Amino acid sequence: MTIRVALIGAGVMGADHARTLTSQVPGAELRIICDADAERAAVLAAELEVQSVSADPQAAIADKAIDAVIVAAPDAMHKELIFAALAAAKPILCEKPMAPTPQDCVDIIAAEVKRGEQLIQIGYNRRFDPAYWEMRDTWKAAGLGEAIMFHGFHRNVSAPPWFDSNMAVTNSAVHDFDIARWLLETEIVSVHAFRPAMFANGGIGSPVFLVCQAASGQLVNIEVSNNAAYGYDVRGDLVCRNGTVSLRPPVNSELCTNLQNSISYPADWRPRFVNAYRLQLQGWIRSIHKGKPEGASAWDGYAASACAAAGLKSLASGQAEKVELIAKPSLYGK
Ligand code: ISE
């Protein structure tokens, strides 16, 4: 059976998902592209030979010829679109963050729990990145013992003009909260957020530094620099009792010239995580075929957003803030 997919949102990530889905994901067909900008939807549909375009996401989701939905619309629209897909009992792959506030996430969880089955996957793509798998597997296989600290570095070349001060936490650091939870298999219980003094008042793309405590005792620090200037660069070090595993971003070639060697950095996250995005989409379609969820659940989406809320609270209070979570519904396991 072919899963007939509706894409809601044809911006940077929506278009990227559409290209990957139509070229590299067996068992799926992109049937409709929906965007408030009709021209943008039409151009992408023509490029990918997709049958239909629409400016009405609710109708696209309800359409009987659609089996599953990718939500890549602006963050503020995620909740209503997830609700529509849940009402139509259709699996959803929703871009991160799941919703703007933890309360919105709790409402989504309540709706999914009421349905009694996991239909929501959140696009925390790093969970599908071979470099992070290797980091986790190496840690486990190399006998490094207990993990003690995780250092995460998350750098973008430059922030777009609409990327306000909070988004370093709510839009970027959510990836790092999620991957730390995934690696350490624990929840983050507190977040203390700092800004360098020269960015005390925030501003577009201003950096943040977050120190988090995990329920199982580890410390996690996260640097987010969205105006890092030199390239898109995500790094990580997992420090354990008997050694450290360092994440090496995939590099296929090195330039050697003039008595020097150098590597190049991608301009944004798409080339760096190209395999992760493909594997994520393949995993999502497989999960629908098999009825077995993969990747980040609605609970994971909620936990990352709750960490972000604690981070924003900490920036305002200047203190470490607790990550407040509701009791975990049994639908999401232990
Ligand atoms: C962006 O929205 C993403 O999801 C990228 O993966 C991330 O690196 C970037 O910081 C976010 O703003």
CATH code of the domain covering residue 237: 3.30.360.10
Q: Sheet harboring 188-194: ordered strands across? A: 243-246, 233-240, 147-155, 219-225, 208-214, 188-194, 321-322
Per-residue pLDDT, 59: 98
Judge if 48 and 177 occupy the same domain: no
Judge if 101 and 247 occupy the same domain: no
Judge if 193 and 318 occupy the same domain: yes
Tell me the mean pLDDT in the region 298-309.
Answer: 98
Looking only at the bridges linking them, the beta strands covering 68-71 and 92-94 are parallel
pLDDT by residue (tens digit) across 98-139? Answer: 999 999 999 999 999 999 999 999 999 999 999 999 999 999
- Sign (positive/negative) of CA torsion 225, 202, 270, 175? positive
pLDDT band per the 50, 70, 90 thresholds, residue 34? very high
171 lines ligand 1 (CB under 6 A): yes
Judge if 131 and 121 occupy the same domain: no
Tell me the mean pLDDT in the region 216-237.
Answer: 98
CA of 145 to the centre of ligand 1 (A): 31
Structural domain harbouring 38: 3-125+276-296
pLDDT band per the 50, 70, 90 thresholds, residue 334? confident
Backbone angles phi, psi at 11, to 5 degrees: -80, -155
Burial 210-247 (b: 16+ CB within 10 A, else e): bebbbeeebebbbbbbbbbeebbbbebebbbeeeebeb
Tell me the mean pLDDT in the region 317-334.
Answer: 97
Judge if 186 and 327 occupy the same domain: yes
Judge if 211 and 173 occupy the same domain: yes
- Which of 60, 62, 71 has the alpha carbon at shortest distance from 96? 71
Ligand 1, residue 163: give the atom nearest the CA: 12
Look up residue 243 and give its two tokens: 């050694």
Burial 76-87 (b: 16+ CB within 10 A, else e): ebbbebbbbbbe
CA of 176 to the centre of ligand 1 (A): 10
pTM for this prediction: 0.97
CA of 223 to the centre of ligand 1 (A): 13
Per-residue pLDDT, 296: 98
pLDDT above 90 for 168: yes
CA of 168 to the centre of ligand 1 (A): 9
Judge if 179 and 162 occupy the same domain: yes
Judge if 201 and 317 occupy the same domain: yes
pLDDT by residue (tens digit) across 58-87? Answer: 999 999 999 999 999 999 999 999 999 999
* CA–CA gap between residue 272 and residue 14 (Å, rounded): 17
Looking only at the bridges linking them, the beta strands covering 120-122 and 147-155 are unpaired
Judge if 159 and 307 occupy the same domain: yes
156 lines ligand 1 (CB under 6 A): yes
Per-residue pLDDT, 288: 98
Choose the residue to mutate in 175, 234, 305 for probing ligand 1, maximizing ligand atoms within 8 Å of C-beta.
175
Nearest CA owner, ligand 1 atom 6: 269
Ligand 1, residue 232: give the atom nearest the CA: 8
Nearest CA owner, ligand 1 atom 7: 172
**Residue that has been written with the tokens 């980040």 in this structure:** 296
Judge if 37 and 165 occupy the same domain: no
CA of 114 to the centre of ligand 1 (A): 31
Helices (H), the chain: 12-24, 38-48, 57-62, 78-87, 102-115, 130-141, 167, 174-184, 269-272, 274-290, 298-317
Ligand 1, residue 159: give the atom nearest the CA: 12
* CA–CA gap between residue 176 and residue 181 (Å, rounded): 8
pLDDT above 90 for 249: no
Per-residue pLDDT, 205: 92
Judge if 88 and 113 occupy the same domain: yes
Judge if 133 and 120 occupy the same domain: no
Per-residue pLDDT, 250: 85
What percent of the chain lies above the pLDDT cut of 70? 100
280 lines ligand 1 (CB under 6 A): no
Q: What is the mean pLDDT of the chain?
A: 97
What percent of the chain lies above the pLDDT cut of 90? 98
Give the chain's domain count.
Answer: 2
CA of 167 to the centre of ligand 1 (A): 10
287 lines ligand 1 (CB under 6 A): no
- Which of 40, 44, 55 has the alpha carbon at shortest distance from 22? 44
Per-residue pLDDT, 219: 98
118 lines ligand 1 (CB under 6 A): no
